[in-house]
Amino acid sequence: MNAMTEPKTDYDLATIRRDFPILTRQVHGKPLVYLDNAATTQRPNQVIEAEAAYYREWNANIHRGVHLLSQKSTDQFEAVRVEAAKFLNAFSENEVIFTRGTTDGINLVASSWGRANVKAGDEILVSALEHHSNIVPWQMLCEEKGAKLVVLPMNDAGELLMEELPKLLNSKTRLVAVNQVSNALGTINPVIEIARQAHAVGAKVLVDGAQSVSHMAVDVRALGADFFVLSAHKLYGPTGVGVIWGREDLLNAMPPYQGGGDMILNVTFEKTEYKKAPGRFEAGTPNVAGVVAFGAALDYVASVGLSAIAAHEADLLAYGTKVLSAIPAVRLVGTAKHKAAVLSFVIEGAHPHDIGTILDKQGVAIRAGHHCAQPIMDRLGIPATARASLAMYNTHEELDKLGEAVRKVVEIFG
């Protein structure tokens, strides 16, 4: 397939790519084509420098310290909380809790809200499109409490069967947990409608936003969610940092998830009094440098603009779909009408791990496997897929290189 020119827009792709130093390196003697963004995005210089500058200039433990470094570190840390609240259109920064990532956030809700509110005979509903992180914690809670896990099924295209939802929701449903975007297929789920129906039966709603926040603007008020979780490292930020947003009244009614320093008002050997949210859920020393760097990532995304990023990625998705569809041996997996920037595919006779290995030798980095979404693979009758996932810095030329590398796989496996 002949390379097409990049779309003519005001999107400054060349400048964006210069901001990401890793994109200039070579792999196996070939220029890196990084298409594993659903696993983790790369970091711009602004984020790398923010973390380094924190350690060079302000490193100190936060809260309670009276010296300048501690006060400055605390100010930077708490400023990111305010910024994250604005990013999500939260009602208050008190609704923003810093975690280690999406998985940590889901486990927090399962362990705190779940243990306090789920009892024997209750039901928790998840979708067939969930990452293991939005399945296993609920399974563990159900086993502990004697509750039941209910699954909203999907069709062959990777779309949820919304007509089944009213049949599955009832007075026993305590929580609905659903991702906004599927990591394995890219499907964009109708979260607003799911939340509306869930609330109609009195259930709470947790939205896994790990795969959505880098591709589209998120407004937790408009979504109607009760909890929303995300990871910084999938939003051009550092690893080991995440956010859980929750409605303030819910958070303040939830028992602490972990005990330790900085989440207390008063401690005696007889009794401990806890802070209100968010403090009661942030025991111990957090990843201060990571949170500061996450603030730089939020600034960077805002400077580019999520609407501009979404338009660029929609173009990439359409172009990449054409590139792979033009190869007869390739079958795309996940063909929902509403998708984010994920291209999952299989090649008959070639295991996805072999596909990934051959592409790596051509400098093309993709993900191969079940993507921590084994139930999806089981539903589709396949063991795994090869997955190319796109980001703001990817290009048509890179997708052409993906196509060339995939053709080599086809040649090798006949």
Tens of pLDDT, residue by residue over 298-310, are 999 999 999 999 9
Q: What is the mean pLDDT of the chain?
A: 96
Domains and CATH numbers, the chain: 13-39+305-413 (3.90.1150.10), 49-303 (3.40.640.10)
pLDDT in tens, 339-385: 999 999 999 999 999 999 999 999 999 999 999 999 999 999 999 99
Predicted local confidence at residue 414, as pLDDT:
75
Catalytic (active site) residue 142: no
Predicted local confidence at residue 7, as pLDDT:
42
Predicted local confidence at residue 46, as pLDDT:
98
Predicted local confidence at residue 368, as pLDDT:
97
SS3 letters for the chain?
Answer: CCCCCCCCCCCCHHHHHHCCHHHHCEECCEECEECECCCCCCCCHHHHHHHHHHHHHCCCCCCCCCCHHHHHHHHHHHHHHHHHHHHHCCCCHHHEEEECCHHHHHHHHHHHHHHHHCCCCCEEEEECCCCHHHCHHHHHHHHHHCCEEEEECECCCCCECHHHHHHHCCCCEEEEEEECECCCCCEECCHHHHHHHHHHCCCEEEEECCCCCCCCCCCHHHHCCCEEEEEHHHCCCCCCCEEEEECHHHHHHCCCCCCCCCCEEEECCCCEEECCCCHHHCCCCCCHHHHHHHHHHHHHHHHHCHHHHHHHHHHHHHHHHHHHHCCCCEEEECCCCCECCEEEEEECCECHHHHHHHHHHCCEECEEECCCCHHHHHHHCCCCEEEEECCCCCCHHHHHHHHHHHHHHHHHHC
Report whether pLDDT(319) > 90.
yes
pLDDT in tens, 222-244: 999 999 999 999 999 999 999 99
Predicted local confidence at residue 9, as pLDDT:
55
- Which one of the listed residues 365, 372, 382, 410 is annotated catalytic? 372
